[in-house]
A and B are shown apart, each in its own frame.
Chain A
Amino acid sequence: MLRISELVNSDASLISRRCWTDQAVYDLEVRGIFGRAWLFLGHESQIRRAGDFVQAYMCETPIILSRGADLRIHANINSCSHRGLPVCRADHGNTRRFICPYHNWSYTVEGELSTIPQENALAGKPDKSKLGLKRVPRLESWRGLIFGSFDPDIIPLEEYLGDMRFYLDAFLGRFPAGIEFMGAPHRWVLDANWKLPVENQLGDVNHGAFLHSAIIPREAQDLIEELGYSVVTRPGHGATFRLMPVDAPVDEVAWGMEGMGGMFGGAEVQEYLRDVQANAAERVGPLRARMKGLTYGVYPNLSFLWSNASFKVSHPRGPGKVEYWSWAVVPADAPDAVKRVLRTNYSSFFGPGGILEQEDSEVWVQQFKGSNIDFADDRPYFYGLGLGEEAPHPQLPGLVSVTANEFYARQFFSRWRDELQAVESGV
């Protein structure tokens, strides 16, 4: 029997291959991490009107996220109380009832059981108030981002996010009406472990110069690394970004300008982006106005790619499979034509057809193969780059370092280890 303490050493500079492949480890992850964390479900812009719904997942558990007739947000497990079928099959939509195909039990959009067709023929009437869909016990949102948790006693979402809010707000707070998600997520399935996409988006900026060198010129990457910071606000939560010089021209700082849409999408788009940047200091303060983000991660499996405007979730499907979701995000107040251009900042390079992300998808799959081989268990992966070189910073919350320092990954794995050990020992 594997013990978690043998998989990650004390400073998390050595990570066992079994962390990525072992079924027993995965079972602990499901209970010890996904059963206890705040998990990202969606954005409020996806369910604006009463009756709107979208599908979501909490680990492998299918969730319906909906806006009730009361305009409140609801999250329920998508599984009928009668025999367990999913009661909702569409990716998104608007409805008053979810009707189960098998025997047509129907549920309200809030998740209450509404009718049991068979009961008319029977004397006994089941208590419907106890037979609704199973509710996600905790549901909270912050700045439009909706999270759920299976742990009824979890700390409030804002406390969980902690100082990560400082960095998230540098983006979310930049736009007068916040952001919105465009359309259904792109979802694709890879033979990889869920943690590698997470690690990649948590702080692995420096692979750009190598894995992506067919597309990203060395000089561009050098500039990124020169101005780049990597921070960890709490193990598992982190951000990387550039802090642009105070006198940098607006076009070099403004979010969106460096994407294909921003560069080639026309004058209206560029004017919009310059306008946002012109008001950024007022909205998020002078320091964060100079921030030009790269990657973000919120423990355990939410990522945000600032430079290519997308939110991503890495949904586990067992140790060796992941369903990766990503959405294009755009400023909510932008004209429709501008939104349609800005979404290409994401899709040009990322997503299942992305010129850059096809490379990432490939290495995530190859890493899982490498983790699975025999006769290499005595060679854990080396996570020691930059060990101990991170430090607090006078202006930036969290531990701060250069982007080459892999402390973001060590911090992730020390939290991961501690949480799995807690469930392993029955805490």
Chain B
Amino acid sequence: MSKDYEVVIGLEVHAELKTKSKIFCACSTAFGAEPNTQVCPVCSGFPGMLPVLNEKAVDCAIKTGLALNSEIAEFCKFDRKNYFYPDLPKAYQISQYDLPICKGGYLDIDVEGERTRVGITRAHLEEDAGKLVHQGDITTTPFSLVDLNRSGVPLLEIVSEPDMRSAQQARAYMEKLRSILLFADVSDCKMEEGSLRCDANVSVRPWGEQKLGTRTEIKNLNSFRALERAIEYEAKRQMEALEDGEVIVQETRTWDEGKGVTRSMRSKEEAHDYRYFPEPDLPPLRIDRDWVDTVRKSMPEMPVQAGQRLMDQYGLSQYDADLITQSPQNLKFFDETLALYADAKAVSNWMMGDLTRLLNQNGMEIQDAKVKPALLAEMLRLMADGTISGKMAKTVFEEMFVSGLDPQTIIKEKGLVQISDANSLLPLIDEIINNNPKVLQDYKNGKEKAFGFFIGQIMKATKGQANPEMVNNLLKERLNRE
């Protein structure tokens, strides 16, 4: 990013765990319900209410810990983190302070062909807060409403070491972590719904310097893009400040997506004193090794192993393997398509190209797409046997994406069948050459453009349905005979 400074990044990721009920009560965790319909006296902090730990949340934490190569604590405990806010019903959050459930660990990321190991400091369980609903902007709203549906939803906070050196690496870490959480089936990881959230700690230091620079914490990063942009902006801001002889202030900053800047929220001096102390309403949690083994046995294939399988079995590149193992749904699509059409590279190209593009444009997930593996496999087969050209395939694919119709039907409806018959193409080629003697002369004089002109004319005359490869060969032969 700069030749004078090195950027140092650590991420704190909050993943909502995919349990049916909340972490300390029996309320549902389903997203999108009417406000305050998934609440009870426990998660709304009524007098005399006590928490009871949901063991499913512990299962999820153990799974994640195993996937991140962490040590699962035999003994951990919960603590109270005290602060006042209207969306925090008890005015303390039950969290884990000094004895988290997962300690240490790592995950590997690959950026531009270079592998980096990012250390995991810890992962701990905690409860989510509710949310405030304002009338417009928070600073001008006449009143605010409190929705406690989310209060008490289990969260796993995963803290990384400051091992990342670029916004791209941070993004890659986040993507890799997301795929792990998805494969482990512990979180929905929907950043737009807030089930995966991220704060970034960013500092810069002169190259070669061992000591870390003063860091700022950036909040409100709601997408991979926001994460990448915010870190880039913040690193640049810090470097420029240092260049101007300023001192970086340790503070919390918020990312303004619209303006593309980070803004100061509060300084270290204004930071809360959370007055952590052990939660007296919950006994310490002992996780015996049988529990860990049971969870280990139930672990599905993780993206790292799946990616390795794709590279070993099908010779895919690390890059392609990473993309396909972004989510279990992606991998499932790939595996199912490949079972019907055994060209891994072709399947991967179409998945990562047109399919991903269309999904992104429409804000859809792969499992919701009308294009199913069978349709893609059939289309690839028609392409391979020359029935349709690559260009036609793009049209067919877009149509499949919209309608979910099978490629044969689309080809018929749109009249997309490729002309791969030499007997019908040759007279046309003759005719075009004869009608353009000047271009023919250019060709003979060695002008390469002339060849392209003929191809264009032929494709135009056949409304693009001529088999391009065949046209190419036939034209070459014909011209060579001149």
Say whether A associates with B. no
